Amino acid sequence: MYKNVFLNFIATVALIALIVLGYVMISAVDRLHDDNNRIGEKLTRLENRIEVLGTNPAAVAAPVTAEERIDSSNGTIANLEFFDRNSQPGGRIIRRITSDTQNLNTLINNDSTASTFHGLTDSTLAERNLKNINEFEPLMAESWIISPDKKVYTIKLRKGILWHDFTDPVSGKEWRNVEVTAADFKFYVDVIKNKDTNCGPMRSYYKQLDRIEVINRYKFKVFWKQRYYQSKIFTLGMSPLPRHLYHAYPEPFDGKKFNDDHRRNRVIVGCGPYRFLRWDKGQRVIFTRWSKYFGKKYGIMPPISNIAFDLIKHPNTAFQALKAGKLDSFNLEPEQWIKRTDTKEFKPGGSLAKYKYLYRAYYYLGYNLKNPLFTDKRVRQAMTHLVNRRKILQDVCFNLGKIVTGPFFVDSKYYDKSIKPYEFSVAEARRLLGEAGWKDRDGDGVLDKNGKKFEFTIMQVANHPVQQKMLPIIKEDMAKAGIVMNIKSFEWSVYLQRLEKKKFEVCCLGWTSSLDPDPYQLWHSSGADKNNTSNHIGFKNKRADEIIEELRITFDMDKRLKLAHEFHQLLHDEQPYTFLFSRDALVAQSTRYKNVRKFPLGYPDSIIWTPKKEQRAIPGF
């Protein structure tokens, strides 16, 4: 089944790598790519890709519930109800990606392109029901028991789950019919918790996981150090990790070798419905259906035989490929959605259909708070007053989205709708900047303070169509207040390196939003002074830390919402980001696909199919 990029919460996500949406901003971790309609969310593909101090005992006052037991030994399995029994297997889907990913190991690479690939190839212990997203259903797990204090999870695996067959790219050894066992889940956690592996974002999620205890080949226990609101999500969302790929040597596991094992990190070995076939760097990545997938006997084998991702940088080139039938699905640019779909292909009976939904993500400008320009919150508030979000949403995005004021999904209960956006106002920006000591003392039209001009550079993702239109608008409005904004374009790999090392002044990015948010990864001060964390702007705030830590151990929903709304208000006041908007996902897809269904998280590919007479092969495959 598919992971969203939770994580995905997981796909998150997510973990929230986010992990995602390519046509407005690019996320630092869960990069937001065109593949955002792959919403069959796996619990561990976390949206943001992510020590509870417990300073407030009242926060854990939620009642202790009885032991929770789930048993699927009668053959039930996640989301079986949504598969069409009349589907005809075969055919292909060709999608677009806008750039190559760094590598295919999602524990050290949280780019959402890699996350999407793993969503095809991985499986998890359980999966959210597509319709009732708060309900978790068994996938790899045959059963589980959750202790009353929610600190111990006893998992029983289904028997006969096989890893994909593969040939080790380093040793040349062939691996066939290797069964997934409890030890593979322990290996997954051990690798994440290893101090030498570059798994920082994921490690922060699992800090409170104490250990995994293997009972036998098919049974293990997961022990958490203390009650944690997302322990269920992260336990049931676990994927196994293939020891025979990543620890294929007799010496003790080497975390640094894991990071630098470039040849093995260019392949994927999973146990999910699709098997990684090949990566033609700079061109195409191909996956083929895994004939030994354990879900086949339960009725959840995806009907589509082959899935490819073609690298097409320019959206107009991709649009022409879609119309020519060389792409099967493509996330349209807003202008394309409005101005270029009034053609025969998109009319009733045509070859293409359109699908729209509000994507669970937000976009922002992020200020490096280690830069003296941005240490005063009045300056950051002024910067937000100089971003004309209404104009950008209307002129660049054709009003296909919603302006947002904080980090939670705008249509969720965690989002405080009483908080109103800062209005565009050059006069108010000048007032705030003046209070912060920025004035045009030499009459050259540029603000200065202590002999320093107010000038900064914002990073732009190379060839990104929306950023190319949006950032010049912001640059022009900044100049009205006496601020010089330079725009510098970077290829994504370079952009990401500068982000991870905090070598930037202002970035333009996006994050996917979690269903059950945990702001720790993005906002806790523990990541502010470290490289390779999601807190790339270096945000530190004592009260924010307290709220985050309380949220992690608070189960009572009224208390959670109160804390979330306080956190939202705090960020609105501090403005470490200029929050921009959530965008509509604008999907164009071939009409030959059947069983296309909309769910709360989008349109999953796992259940669609094409009639035999309309099935196509991947060219050259």
pLDDT tens string 138-155: 999 999 999 999 999 999
What is the predicted pLDDT for the residue at 620? 82
Summarised one tens digit per residue, pLDDT across range 319-366 is: 999 999 999 999 999 999 999 999 999 999 999 999 999 988 899 999
Task: Find the range with the poorest average confidence among 28-37, 298-307, 555-564.
Answer: 28-37
What is the predicted pLDDT for the residue at 65? 52
As a 3-state breakdown, the chain gives helix, strand, coil percent values, each rounded to 5, of: 25, 20, 50
Cβ of 588: how many Cβ atoms within 10 Å? 24
- What is d(CA 124, CA 41) in angstroms, rounded to the nearest whole number? 10
- Closest C-alpha among 87, 79, 88, 117 to residue 100: 117
Summarised one tens digit per residue, pLDDT across range 491-520 is: 988 998 999 899 999 999 999 888 888 999
Residue 392: band (very low, low, confident or very high) from pLDDT cuts 50, 70, 90: very high
Summarised one tens digit per residue, pLDDT across range 150-184 is: 999 999 999 999 999 999 999 999 999 999 999 99
Which residue type is seen at 217?
Answer: R
Residue with tokens 């996981």: 209
Bond from prior residue into 13 cis (ω within 30 degrees of 0): yes
- What is d(CA 20, CA 605) in angstroms, rounded to the nearest whole number? 16
Distances from the Cα of 295 to the Cαs of 136, 139, 203, 272, 615, in angstroms?
17, 8, 29, 8, 23
The mean per-residue pLDDT over the stretch 245-268 comes to 95
What is the predicted pLDDT for the residue at 13? 33
Rg (CA), the chain: 24
Summarised one tens digit per residue, pLDDT across range 467-484 is: 999 999 999 999 999 999
Residue 72: band (very low, low, confident or very high) from pLDDT cuts 50, 70, 90: confident
The mean per-residue pLDDT over the stretch 110-121 comes to 88
Question: For residue 465, what is the enclosing H or E element?
Answer: helix 465-480
What is the predicted pLDDT for the residue at 47? 34
Distances from the Cα of 256 to the Cαs of 106, 170, 246, in angstroms?
15, 17, 12
Check if the beta carbon of residue 259 is closer than 8 Å to that of residue 184.
no
Check if the beta carbon of residue 569 is closer than 8 Å to that of residue 540.
no
Which residue type is seen at 547?
Answer: I
User: pTM of the predicted model, to two decimals?
Assistant: 0.80
Question: For residue 223, what is the enclosing H or E element?
Answer: strand 219-224
Residue 66: band (very low, low, confident or very high) from pLDDT cuts 50, 70, 90: low
Total length of the chain: 621
Whole-number average pLDDT of the chain = 88
The mean per-residue pLDDT over the stretch 52-78 comes to 55
Q: 75-107 in b/e burial notation, b at 16+ Cβ within 10 A? A: eebbbeebbeeebeebbbbbbbbbbbbbbbbbb
Residue 110: band (very low, low, confident or very high) from pLDDT cuts 50, 70, 90: confident
The mean per-residue pLDDT over the stretch 235-241 comes to 96
What is the predicted pLDDT for the residue at 201? 76
Residue 26: band (very low, low, confident or very high) from pLDDT cuts 50, 70, 90: very low
What is the predicted pLDDT for the residue at 50? 21
Residue percentage of the chain with pLDDT more than 70: 89
The mean per-residue pLDDT over the stretch 552-578 comes to 96
Distances from the Cα of 438 to the Cαs of 371, 376, 429, 442, 560, in angstroms?
15, 11, 11, 12, 39
- What is d(CA 25, CA 42) in angstroms, rounded to the nearest whole number? 23
Residue with tokens 């920025």: 438
DSSP string, 245-301: HHT-SSSPP-HHHHHH-TTGGGS---SSSEEEEEEETTTEEEEEE-TT-GGGGGT--
What is the predicted pLDDT for the residue at 438? 98
Residue 458: band (very low, low, confident or very high) from pLDDT cuts 50, 70, 90: very high
Task: Find the range with the poorest average confidence among 156-160, 190-194, 199-203, 289-293.
Answer: 199-203
Summarised one tens digit per residue, pLDDT across range 398-423 is: 999 999 999 999 999 999 999 999 99
Summarised one tens digit per residue, pLDDT across range 570-589 is: 999 999 999 999 999 999 99
What is the predicted pLDDT for the residue at 42? 40
The mean per-residue pLDDT over the stretch 596-617 comes to 94
Check if the beta carbon of residue 493 is closer than 8 Å to that of residue 102.
yes
Cβ of 585: how many Cβ atoms within 10 Å? 25
607 or 64, greater pLDDT? 607
Q: Is 139 helix (H, G, I), strand (E, B) or coil?
A: coil
Sheet holding 92-97, edge to edge: 92-97, 306-311, 284-289, 274-280
The mean per-residue pLDDT over the stretch 278-305 comes to 96
Check if the beta carbon of residue 84 is closer than 8 Å to that of residue 607.
yes
5 or 479, greater pLDDT? 479
- What is d(CA 69, CA 142) in angstroms, rounded to the nearest whole number? 11
